[in-house]
Amino acid sequence: MSKSSERVILCMKWGTKYGPEYVNRLYAMVRRHLRGEFRFVCLTDLSEGVRAEVECLPIPPLALPPGSPERGWTKLTTFEADLHGLQGTALFLDLDVVIVDDITPFFEVPGEFLIIHDWKRPWRITGNSSVYRFEIGKYPELLAKFRREFDAIRQKFRNEQAYLSDEMQQKGLLQYWDGSWCASYKYHCIPRWPLNYLRAPAIPAGARILIFHGVVNPPDALAGRNNGNWRRAKPAPWIADHWRE
């Protein structure tokens, strides 16, 4: 496989919110559910405890003014002009996703940029950046513009995925994954009230990746913890079948 046709799984871990087990389990899920060769890269500021199959590389500096709110903007560094010499097609995955079926099709859908269409406000163009795909090094102007116009951009956009979606829309490149592929654990797995008190969460038909947004992560869902979220759910023991090394 040539460098230009290489498939790269990208994830990012900074700070202490997620331990190395998230990276290790994500790698294991990808290995089980992605056919063929791939390169797995974690951009991180702490590689301790990460399994040897994962390439740990430094997160490029975001270069924001001191004291600026982070808000996940760090993800935009995946669009660095030279991302440690990486080439090919990158599929970015958040650390807390759970892969439940074949993700090979995420590399097969035609298009230059694909992202999840946000479920909560589908009338907006904004995507959910838990899963997005792009050609590495092809859009350095996204990051350059962000660094140059940060104050104006953060006034206009709440977070990185809103800015990213808007920029790709302006380029005419914004596309969304099949609506069933990336399911929200909160909205699609937990039964509606009052059935959520009677039935355990379940994987919706057609789902390939489950997205955990908000205050509930995979270990919380496994144990039935809601962490203050108003959507209460019974434990989902089946998560252990997927979220494992």
What domains, with CATH codes, occur in the chain? 3-176 (3.90.550.10), 182-242 (no CATH)
pLDDT, mean of residues 53-79: 86
State the pLDDT at residue 3.
Answer: 61
State the pLDDT at residue 92.
Answer: 98
198-224: burial string, b at 16+ Cβ within 10 Å, e else: eeebebeeebbbbbbbeebbbebbbee
Torsion sign over Cα 75, 212, 209, 156: negative
pLDDT tens by residue, 28-48: 999 999 999 999 999 999 999
Among 126, 109, 106, 107, CA closest to 118? 126
Task: Give the pair of three-digit tokens for residue 116.
Answer: 């999840």
Instruction: Tell me the H-state helices in 12-106.
Output: 20-33
Question: Which residue in this structure is represented by tokens 């009052």?
Answer: 194
Cα separation, 245 vs 93, in Å, equals 16
Residue 8 has pLDDT above 60, yes or no: yes
Bridge partners of 209? 99, 182
Weakest mean pLDDT among 8-17, 60-69, 87-96, 182-191 = 60-69
Cα separation, 16 vs 19, in Å, equals 7
Identify whether the C-beta of residue 35 lies closer than 8 Å to the C-beta of residue 99.
no
State the pLDDT at residue 121.
Answer: 79
pLDDT tens by residue, 118-174: 887 777 999 999 999 999 999 999 999 999 998 899 899 989 999 999 999 999 999
